[in-house]
Amino acid sequence: MGNVVRLAIVDPNDASRTVMKNLLLGIDVIWLEAECSRYEFFTDVASQTQPDIALISLDADPEQGLALVGKLNEELPSCDTLVVSSSQEGSLILQAMRNGAKEFLSYPLKLEEFLASLDRIRQSSGGRDGEGQVRSSQVITVAGVGGGVGCTSLAINIACSIAQDERNSVTVIDLDLALGDADVWLDIIPDYTIQDVAENISRLDYSLLKRSLTKHDCGAFLLPRPTQLDDATSITPDEFRRVIALLKATFTHLVIDISKGFGPLDMAALEVADSILLVTQLDLPCLRNVVRLLQYFDLNEGFEDKVNVVVNRFGLEANQISSAKALETIGREIFWQLPNEYATIVESRNNGVPLLMQAPKAKLTKSIDQLARSIDQSASGEVVSQEATTRKGLFGFLSSGSK
- pLDDT at residue 389 greater than cutoff 70: no
What are the two backbone dihedrals, phi and then psi, of residue 13, each rounded to the nearest 5 degrees?
A: -85, 115
Kindly report, residue by residue over 353-373, the tens digit of the pLDDT.
999 999 999 999 999 999 998
Q: Which of 164-173, 285-294, 387-396 has the lowest mean pLDDT?
A: 387-396
- pLDDT at residue 252 greater than cutoff 80: yes
Q: What is the pLDDT of residue 202?
A: 65
pLDDT (mean) for 176-183: 92
Q: What is the pLDDT of residue 322?
A: 77
Kindly report, residue by residue over 98-114, the tens digit of the pLDDT.
999 999 999 998 888 89
**Confidence bin at 211 (pLDDT 50/70/90):** confident
- pLDDT at residue 396 greater than cutoff 90: no
Q: What is the pLDDT of residue 121?
A: 85
The overall average pLDDT reported for the chain is 85
pLDDT (mean) for 69-73: 95
- pLDDT at residue 55 greater than cutoff 50: yes
Kindly report, residue by residue over 7-16, the tens digit of the pLDDT.
999 999 999 9
- Per the DSSP assignment, residues forming a β-bridge with 104 are 83
**Confidence bin at 382 (pLDDT 50/70/90):** low
Q: What is the pLDDT of residue 146?
A: 93
Q: Do domains 5-125 and 138-399 have the same CATH topology?
A: yes
**Confidence bin at 35 (pLDDT 50/70/90):** very high
More confident residue, 365 or 230: 365
Q: Which of 168-177, 239-248, 333-342, 374-383 has the lowest mean pLDDT?
A: 374-383
- pLDDT at residue 399 greater than cutoff 50: no
HSE of 153, CA atoms in CB hemisphere, 13 A: 28
- pLDDT at residue 392 greater than cutoff 60: no
Task: Write out the chain in H/E/C secondary structure.
Answer: CCCCEEEEEECCCHHHHHHHHHHHHCCCCEEEEEEECCHHHHHHHHHHHCCCEEEEECCCCHHHHHHHHHHHHHHCCCCEEEEEECCCCHHHHHHHHHCCCCEEEECCCCHHHHHHHHHHHHHHHCCCCCCCCCCCCEEEEEEECCCCCCHHHHHHHHHHHHCCCCCCCEEEEECCCCCCCHHHHCCCCCCCCHHHHHHCHHHCCHHHHHHCCEECCCCCEEECCCCCHHHCCCCCHHHHHHHHHHHHHHCCEEEEECCCCCCHHHHHHHHCCCEEEEEECCCHHHHHHHHHHHHHHHCCCCCHHHEEEEEEEECCCCCCCCHHHHHHHHCCCCCEEEECCHHHHHHHHHHCCCHHHHCCCCHHHHHHHHHHHHHHCCCCCCCCCHHHHHCCCCCHHHHCCCC
Q: Which of 154-158, 175-179, 391-395 has the lowest mean pLDDT?
A: 391-395
Cis omega (within 30 of 0) for bond into 77 = no
CATH number for the domain formed by residue range(s) 138-399: 3.40.50.300
Q: Where are the domains of the chain?
A: 5-125, 138-399
pLDDT (mean) for 389-403: 42
Q: What is the pLDDT of residue 254?
A: 95
**Confidence bin at 1 (pLDDT 50/70/90):** very low
**To 5 degrees, how large is the angle CA 284–CA 290–CA 294?**
150
Q: What is the pLDDT of residue 379?
A: 46
**What are the angstrom distances between the C-alpha of 360 and each of 80, 109, 280, 355, 366?**
45, 47, 24, 6, 7
- pLDDT at residue 44 greater than cutoff 60: yes
pLDDT above 70 covers a percentage of the chain that reads: 85
Q: What pTM was estimated for this model as a whole?
A: 0.70
Domain 5-125 has CATH 3.40.50.2300: yes
Pairing relationship of beta strands 103-106 and 80-85 according to DSSP bridges:
parallel
